[in-house]
Amino acid sequence: HVSEGIDLAARNEFVCTQTGDNDLVEPQTGLVHAVGLTAGDIYNIEPEYSKVVWSPRSNIALYGNTASVSLMERAGVPMALGTDWLPSGSANLLRELACAIELNETYFNTTFSDVQLWRMVTTNAAFVAGAQLSTGMLKSGLAGDLAVFRAGDLDAHSAVVRANPEDVVMVARGGQALYGDA
């Protein structure tokens, strides 16, 4: 958790972790939150290919603001979407996606497509965790956990990111169905 907050102390967390002998902002770094970063800080992330985990519901609940994700997207910073912790975050990724969609459409001029939001909770999440060689994609040789959603009139990616819990049709982990409609 770096730069979690909106004050100068939160920004200073990032400054102290990316300068001099304390430079921890490396290609394998995943910054959780990054709310207090300035535009200059964000552009200092991209050259080193560090990543950010965006937790909008928790950020809004605790600080009244969230990370500058539109600017991060323009700067090429890879992002995942996470729920943070239960007291201020979402109970599940579907609720976190709903929050992200509302912010995206209301405040971020639809910076992110539904495909991009879907990637934030699948492939991008695996890369942020450094687990891309074992999970995050449905691909031969990788762990293949799977969730199936009711699509209705939506395309495949929109059906996932805009789903409610009742739209989950099946969940399988390691090839074993854990939940599913008859």
Q: Give the global pTM.
A: 0.90
Task: Look up tokens 């709903």; give the residue.
Answer: 98
Q: Distance between the two ends of the chain, CA-based, in angstroms?
A: 41
pLDDT at 27: 81
For residue 22, pLDDT over 80 is answered with no
| Mean pLDDT (the chain, rounded) | 91
Please compute the mean of the pLDDT values over residues 19-27 and round it to a whole number.
80
Model confidence at 55, pLDDT cuts 50, 70, 90, reads very high
Pair of tokens at residue 91 = 């109970």
Distance between CA atoms of 25 and 29, rounded to whole angstroms? 6
Looking at residue 88, its pLDDT comes to: 87
Please report, for residues 33, 87, 106, the alpha-carbon distance to residue 11 in angstroms, rounded to integers and kept in the order given.
Answer: 11, 23, 25
What is the edge-to-edge ordering of all strands in the sheet holding 168-173?
146-149, 168-173, 176-180
Compute CA distances 123 → 5, 12, 135, whole Å: 27, 30, 8
Using CA atoms, how far apart are residues 15 and 9, in angstroms rounded to an integer? 10
> Measured at the alpha carbon of residue 114, what is the angle toward residues 159 and 94, in degrees to the nearest 5?
55
The radius of gyration of the chain's CA atoms, rounded to the nearest angstrom, is: 17
Residue 96's pLDDT is 95
- Which pLDDT does position 117 carry in this prediction? 98
Task: Using pLDDT thresholds of 50, 70 and 90, give the confidence band for residue 86.
Answer: confident
User: Of 25-34, 109-118, 164-173, where does mean pLDDT reach its minimum?
Assistant: 25-34
pLDDT for residue 146 is more than 80: yes
pLDDT more than 90, % of the chain: 60
Report the percentage of the chain scoring pLDDT > 70.
99
In the structure, what pLDDT confidence band is assigned to residue 155 with cuts at 50, 70 and 90?
very high
Q: What confidence score (pLDDT) does residue 144 get?
A: 79
* Residue type present at position 143: A
The mean per-residue pLDDT over the stretch 151-156 comes to 93
Cα dihedral sign, 109-112-114-118? negative
26 vs 152, residue with greater confidence: 152
